[in-house]
């Protein structure tokens, strides 16, 4: 294609500014320094206030959609009952008409003798049952399906159901460059795989730093032997959560590094 023509697929390389920075809130996209939490279903990091506001808004939207769905379902049921009633009346009329025809045959009343001998004439052809056709089309419209709304709001990133209790508090440690550092080695976490060491909650369930999950580099933790005791707090680990890695513009990072725009093509 000639240069400047709007044909064919175009691609653009995504820079570092277009990639996710580890430690940023996945909703507000700024450093999650105010009560950071992580989703145990997806590993994304959020600020507590931002994700709770999102969940509240989506829950209210789902309630409204559920009310609309209930009203639609009730109207469909009423319409179905009306169509069934019409169908039953049409069958009764058809039965009464058939009985009248049988009675007329018994009386040997022949309106037009040509109907018996000249059956190919237009007036001798059977008529289409309009009532049955109308009922069939209405019934097919009534039985149209509609998916009910989900019961729980979806995650803004993974689109899987997300609950408030699926959020775990994080103890993020920052350096002077606004980068999250490993709680063990104090190395900056950028595109490396990071883990959240979720401790077992004590009996008193007091909210302190010891109950927050410590964020460490996966390689550093594996070098320590993957012990079930947190090397930072000394508490037993209940679960190890893999956090979402930071993005990079390098192809070897495994993320999306190109954006494509599909335009008309000439073959």
Q: Is 266's pLDDT higher than 80?
A: no
What mean pLDDT do residues 90-98 have?
Answer: 86
Cα gap 218→142, rounded to integer Å: 56
Task: Determine contact, residues 189/23, Cβ cutoff 8 Å.
Answer: yes
Q: Average pLDDT, stretch 67-86?
A: 91
**pLDDT surpassing 80 at residue 154:** yes
Query: pTM of the entire structure?
Result: 0.67
- Lowest average pLDDT, out of 176-180, 185-189, 201-205, goes to 201-205
Q: State mean pLDDT over 189-198.
A: 91
pLDDT at 52: 94
Return d(Cα 230, Cα 237) in angstroms, integer. Answer: 6
pLDDT of residue 54: 94
Average pLDDT over residues 52-77: 93
Query: 69, 149 in Cβ contact below 8 A?
Result: yes
What is the Cα–Cα distance from 71 to 85, expressed in whole angstroms? Answer: 21
């Amino acid at each position: 294609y000639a240069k400047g023509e709007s044909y064919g697929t175009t691609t653009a390389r995504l820079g570092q500014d277009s990639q996710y920075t580890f430690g940023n809130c996945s909703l507000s996209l700024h450093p999650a320094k105010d009560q950071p939490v992580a989703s145990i279903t997806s590993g994304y990091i959020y600020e507590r206030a931002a994700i709770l506001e999102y969940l509240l808004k989506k829950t209210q939207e789902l309630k409204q959609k559920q009310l609309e769905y209930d009203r639609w379902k009730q109207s469909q049921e009423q319409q179905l009952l009306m169509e069934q009633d019409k169908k039953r009346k049409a069958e009764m009329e058809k039965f009464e008409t058939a009985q009248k025809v049988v009675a007329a045959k018994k009386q040997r009343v022949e309106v037009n003798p040509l109907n018996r001998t000249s059956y190919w004439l237009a007036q001798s052809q059977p008529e289409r049952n309009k009532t049955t056709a109308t009922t069939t089309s209405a019934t097919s419209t009534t039985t149209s399906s509609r998916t009910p709304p989900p019961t729980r709001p979806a995650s803004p990133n993974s689109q899987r159901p997300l609950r408030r209790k699926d959020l775990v508090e994080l103890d993020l440690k920052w350096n002077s460059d606004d980068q999250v550092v490993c709680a063990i080695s104090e190395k900056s976490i950028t595109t490396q795989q990071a883990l959240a060491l979720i401790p077992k909650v004590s009996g008193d369930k007091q909210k302190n730093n010891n109950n927050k999950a410590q964020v460490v580099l996966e390689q550093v933790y594996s070098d320590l032997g993957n012990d079930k005791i947190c090397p930072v707090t000394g508490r037993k680990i209940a679960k190890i959560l893999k956090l979402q890695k930071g993005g990079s513009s390098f192809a070897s990072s495994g993320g999306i590094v190109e954006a494509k725009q599909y335009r008309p093509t000439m073959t």
